[in-house]
Structure 1
Amino acid sequence: MASLPNDPAALKELLVDKASYIAQLEEQVRLLKAILHLAKSERQAKPTTKEMQYSLFDEAEAVAGEQSEAIESGEVAVAAHARKKTGRRPIPQEFPRVEVVHDIPEADKVCPCGCELTRIGEEVSEKLDFIPATIQVIRHIRPKYACRACEGTEDDGPTVKTAPMPPQLIPQGLATPGLVAYVLASKFVDGLPFYRQERIFERLGLDISRATMCGWALQVARACQPLVGLLSEESRSGPIINLDETVVQVLGEVGRANTSPSYMWLVRGGPPEHPAVLFHYAPTRSGQVAEELVGDFQGYLQTDGFAGYNALGEREGIIHVGCLAHVRRKFVEALKAGSKKSSGGTAQTVVDLIGKLYHLEKQAQDAKCDADQVHAMRQAKATPIMARIKALLLEREKTTPPKSLLGKAIAYALGQWDRVAVYLKDGHLRPDNNLAENAIRPFAVGRKNWLFSGSPAGAAASAALYSLIETAKANDLEPLRYLHFLFEKLPLAKSQDDFRALLPQHLDSKTISA
């Protein structure tokens, strides 16, 4: 009590500060409760039965994909007449068919009148079967030839000839390209750690340790370094680069504790029709890493609001583009933390207006508009909506406590506004950085399964393999088939042109399946 001031005005100021502090704490508690107990979806609509089933079994990966699609399309309502087709999808024709005929007994093929029945057709029902993985051994047999006439002579002995062993992805190793592709796709595509694969192989009667699989991954990553270098070049060859980064824990970093955070960076760029995706491990989140990844690139650079990109975005020749999805996310957090009395209001209005912007983007996408048409649409329809949002933010900024979640959302939006609004000027741009976030998401999902990388070399190897896999996916190639094709052809590559021809963006599905 003795520390309290005697001045009534000072006391009032203390009370106001205390009330504001308590309000902020209550807001944070509501947000934490929302994160813990509510669905993670950023949509405000009632969850569907399918979404509730996902949450029952904690299918985070499946829900994450749907969230991204919802944010990009700006779903805010479902039309009453819009219905999805129900029923089972047909089984793709490329799967082999095994026919099992269920015929009636021969005695039943005679009519009661005495005439033989005639086959007039058939009823066919198809059911999916699964054959467990089959292990086979490929024996490389190389006949040896010698000259009998030279036996017993005093020279260097008889001439012996043997065909050379074809170049191997892993010299002296026991794994074929098919096995290595399966192991690496299981981890880096399906998020299945090596220790779980070890148990699967045990059930098949095969002893392949996780240490062996780690060794394969390291050797393959080293062999793929020429491809990674070319991916880095091609990522800077297009008009737009998307950058993102996420935390990864790496053990054994020199001079750093094992609990220190490291980062996996992602660059997505190159020609829009044939994009390149590059992962890069670094022990720091410094903006210098981003500068090294971008190199001498000139064009549009799209990122989130991380301050480490600011200096790079101000460099001559680079136009910095912001992320509307991150702006929206701040207001969604404010909505989740809002009290029942304050539900709706500014945050809901902003979210709804951003939803209209995404609805316009979805319409243009469905209509397959070209860049000029998209630009014209944005100038006519999106620009007025953006102006309404900015005017609302400027008005509410004056009356909203700056330390509240809504105040922080408004400050973030206004601080990023000039960059976010850049997308209105070019129809090739997207309103958000979701292309980069979608590419880095598989790494974030896989990280939940293996928690950390065992060494800097392991993190760098993971970055190389993720680069090739995500580039394959971005170019509509099935990752396992691409890896199998790559690992068969890679030992034969000698020149830069040979390696470049193996990049996913220079291949198609028919080539890798041949």
Structure 2
Amino acid sequence: MKNTGQSSTSTEQLQSHIEKLQTQFDELSAKLKWYEEQFRLAQQKRFGASSEKTDPNQLDLQLFNEAEVLATTEEADAHVETITYSRKKPSGSREAKLDQFPVETIVYQLPEAEQVCYCCGGALHEMSTETRSEIKIIPAQVKVVRHVRQVYACRHCEREDVHTPVVTAPMPRPVYPGSFASPSILAHVMCQKYVESQPLYRQEQQFARLGLPLSRQTLANWMIYGAEKWLSHLEERMRVHLLRQDVLYADETTLQVLREPGKAPQTQSYMWLYRTGRMGPPIVLFDYKRTRGGEHPRDYLQGFHGYLHVDGYAGYHKVANTTLVGCWAHARRKFDEALKVLPSTEERKGTVAQQGLQYCNQLFVVERDIKEKTTEERYAIRKERSKPILDAYLVWLCQQRARTLPKSAVGQAIAYSLNQWEKLTSFLEDGRLEMDNNRSERSIKPFVIGRKNWLFANSPRGAKASAIIYSLLETAKENQLNPFQYLNYLFEQIPQLSDVTNGEKLDRFLPWSTSLPDVCHITKS
């Protein structure tokens, strides 16, 4: 009996040990699979194509197109064959594209002594001409402009009176008193850095090659002064107009600022973006902050009431009086990444990742079809076509969640859609809304590209100035303005205002104002 008891106890211990080892094995296998997925995803991001487009042949789900697949058209005539083809539409002559530019004409003539017929010796006359056109580039040139104004006095009063009146000719106020900075060079340096992504040290070298010694410190001071003294008033006015809209977009990205008080140079700060949507004037605003806290969009958007397109970041929940609209591009990207991390030897067709991707694709097909529709039509078609897809997708998500490892790539994709479901379905409420937050991601991309070139901001003042300048330039681009000509116009005109805080006067200089001169607008060929 004693031996039997010991044997039974030993068997139970072995069984418990086996179960424990099996649990550890399952956990390690799941962890190994996760690391393999992360490795393949990192390899794909580094070496693979960045496009997230799906093969059109993979768009169909039997769930949605069963009727179309099985149905036949009774009226179709088997003896009628329809042949279609496409060809590139002529875009107009090359000469027409050059009409907007000044023309320099060079005429080549025979010397008068050679205008004699080599056959009979008679005089030659002009029969026709042959013409070719070339594009000539005039490189940047530096020119000094001296502003000299005359001072006048009365000779009679000089001789006869005790007091002699003196009259001085009017002269425009300078954009930066006490410096060599002109409106054009301020506009040029800003556009080179914030539109063309040329860091100040490269511009310093370019000016040196032109024979003009300008240090990057001088250029930086010019940028900060121009932004704080003049452009900041326009940026504040643009924010007033932004908060009046019903639909906005928001996004954020990192920024390194070297000399932030109380922070190490290696720590990250953030550049926040807010912009308008389909309705109202195009407005793009940047806001520099030290952290990613949700209090920043809450404070910046204080007074706004309406819909706010965002990504999955929870900080936007602090914005009051708003309905958050989620981003289906992010939801779709999760399944796209889950599909890409599958081993190359594994069949992708019919996988959970592909099924989730197809549900998202079906929604985007609807959006592509209603892109040019009116607000009312978009709302009605979404209720008719997108709502059934969403209902089926939600059922599928709930089914798959119980069958999928939570930490796997496809498990995280499913969890994202379920966690964001309320925001992801908000676009059904209003035809003005969009399915994704791509509009703000496109607007923040110029900053991200510029950051790769100039890497960091030296100080909080510099970061704030950059936010102001980016706001003006990106909004100008959205309103089809020439960035250089627009900034040059601002720096010429705004210093002449008696009150730069007057909202009505500043509105005449906003990028969508009809009062802007033609030179500020991009000439369309």
Q: TM-score range by the shorter chain?
A: 0.7 to 0.9
1:343 equivalent among 345, 348, 353: 348
Give the distance between the partners of 1:109 and 1:32, measured in 2 at CA.
Answer: 77
Matched, 1:131 2:138: yes
* Equivalent position of 1:11 in the other structure: 21
State the alpha-carbon separation in 2 of the partners of residues 21 and 197 from structure 1. Answer: 50
Taking the aligned partners of 2:327 and 2:167, their CA distance within structure 1 comes to: 65
Contact conserved, 1:234 with 1:269, CA < 8 A, in 2?
no
Conserved 8 A contact 1:218-1:461:
yes
Q: Counterpart in 1 of 2:106?
A: 100
Contact kept in structure 2, 1:236 and 1:270, CA below 8 Å:
no
Check the 8 A contact 1:237/1:269 in 2, yes or no.
no
Structure 1 counterpart of 2:60: none
Amino acid in the other structure paired with 2:485 = R
Q: For residue 408 of structure 2, what is the aligned residue in structure 1?
A: 404
SS in 1 for 2:250: strand
Pick the aligned partner of 1:260 from 251, 267, 275: 267
Q: 1:449 aligns with which of 444, 453, 475?
A: 453
TM-score, structure 2 length as denominator?
Answer: 0.82
The answer to whether structure 1 residue 426 and structure 2 residue 433 are counterparts is no
Among 292, 300, 306, the residue aligned to 1:293: 300
Equivalent position SS for 2:256: strand
Moved more, 337-346 or 28-37: 337-346
The equivalent of 2:213 in structure 1 is: 207
Which whole-Å CA distance do the structure 2 matches of 1:29 and 1:186 have between them? Answer: 38
- Per-residue CA distance 1:108-161 (angstroms, 9 max, x = gap): 885968887776655544322211012222121112234556769997x86544
Greater alpha carbon shift after TM alignment, 171-180 vs 442-451? 171-180
1:354 — aligned with what? 360
In structure 2, the partner of 1:269 is 276
Distance (whole Å) between structure 1 residues aligned to residue 271 and residue 431 of structure 2: 30
2:115, 2:123 within 8 Å by CA — same for their partners in 1?
A: no
Contact kept in structure 1, 2:508 and 2:516, CA below 8 Å = no
Conserved 8 A contact 1:239-1:271:
no
Q: What's the offset of the Cα at 1:507?
A: 3.8
Residue 331 of structure 1 is aligned with which of 332, 335, 341? Answer: 335
CA–CA separation in structure 1 for the residues paired with 2:288 and 2:256: 11
Q: CA offsets, 1:351-375, max 9 Å, x none?
A: 334334333323333xx32111122
| 2:30 maps to 1:26 | no
Q: Secondary structure at the match of 1:427?
A: coil
SS at match of 1:452: coil
1:85-484 equivalent positions in 2, closer than 5 A: 91-101=97-107, 110=117, 122-147=129-154, 159-222=165-228, 223-269=230-276, 272-312=279-319, 315=320, 317-340=321-344, 341-344=346-349, 345-365=351-371, 368-484=372-488
Deviation at 1:508, TM superposition (A): 6.8
Match of 2:74 in 1: none
For 2:15 and 2:193, the matched residues in 1 are separated by 63
Between 160-169 and 292-301, the greater mean CA deviation after superposition: 160-169
SS in 1 for 2:285: strand
Q: Which runs of 5+ in 2 are unaligned?
A: 1-13, 57-83
Whose radius of gyration is greater, 1 or 2? 2
RMSD over aligned CA atoms reads 2.9
Q: TM-score when scaled to structure 1?
A: 0.84
Alpha-carbon contact 1:279-1:467 (below 8 Å) kept: yes
Separation (CA, whole Å) in 1 of partners of 2:46 and 2:383 = 40
Letter in 2 for 1:394: C
Alpha-carbon distance, 1:197 to partner = 0.8
Percent identity (aligned): 37
- The whole-number CA distance in structure 1 between the counterparts of 2:88 and 2:327 is 31
Distance 1:164 1:135 in 2: 26
Contact kept? 1:357, 1:385, Cα under 8 Å: yes
Change in Cα spacing, 1:10 to 1:21, as seen in structure 2 (3 Å) is same
User: Matched residue pairs, number?
Assistant: 472
Alignment partners' CA distance in 1, 2:25 and 2:233: 65
Residue 189 of structure 1 deviates from its aligned partner by 0.8
Distance 1:404 1:343 in 2: 16
SS in 1 for 2:512: helix
Deviation at 1:254, TM superposition (A): 1.0
Equivalent position amino acid for 1:137 in 2: V
SS in 2 for 1:279: strand
2-structure distance, mates of 1:510, 1:491: 17
Taking the aligned partners of 2:136 and 2:290, their CA distance within structure 1 comes to 46
2:44 and 2:115 map into 1 onto residues whose CA distance is 67
Q: Give the direction of change, closer, same or farther, for the CA distance of 1:129–1:355 in structure 2 (3 Å limit).
A: farther
